[in-house]
């Protein structure tokens, strides 16, 4: 098992020890909590605080990795498979927009 999947399992264990639950049945709420962390990162940008930005991006990854570790999602495999697909896409995915 790679480092990212190990970290996901470690975060899921830590979350469980703290009495919180992450499972498929509550997944919509967990995804919304990911969104709140992204919103906090956006607020940090508005405040021009790179320190707070780094903290909120870390929170975002922690919540995502908790989800992966809790439902046994092999995120390393998933990222590698998706990046393989992404590498085959054209420049700007064939669109004009830089976003
Ligand atoms: Mg936060």
Domain-embedded: residue 2: no
Within 13 Å, how many C-alpha atoms sit on residue 56's CB side? 19
Domain-embedded: residue 8: no
Domain-embedded: residue 29: yes
Domain-embedded: residue 63: yes
Count: domains in the chain: 1
Q: How far is the CA of 48 from the centre of ligand 1 (A)?
A: 16
Q: How far is the CA of 11 from the centre of ligand 1 (A)?
A: 15
Domain-embedded: residue 47: yes
Domain-embedded: residue 37: yes
Q: Which residue range is the domain that position 70 belongs to?
A: 23-77
- pLDDT of 2 reads 87
Domain-embedded: residue 82: no
**For each of the chain's 99 residues, which pLDDT tens digit applies?**
789 999 999 999 999 999 999 999 999 999 999 999 999 999 999 999 999 999 999 999 999 999 999 999 999 999 999 999 999 999 999 999 988
At residue 50's C-alpha, the angle toward residues 16 and 22, to 5°, is: 15
């Amino acid at each position: 098992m790679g480092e990212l999947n190990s970290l996901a399992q470690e975060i899921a264990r830590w979350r469980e020890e703290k009495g919180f639950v992450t499972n498929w049945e509550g997944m919509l709420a967990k995804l919304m909590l990911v969104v709140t962390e992204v919103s906090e990162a956006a607020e940090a940008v508005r405040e021009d605080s790179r320190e707070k930005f780094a903290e909120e991006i870390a929170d975002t990854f922690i919540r995502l990795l908790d989800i992966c570790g809790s439902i046994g999602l092999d995120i390393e495999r998933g990222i590698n498979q998706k990046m393989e697909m992404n590498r085959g896409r054209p420049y700007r995915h064939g669109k004009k927009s830089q976003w």
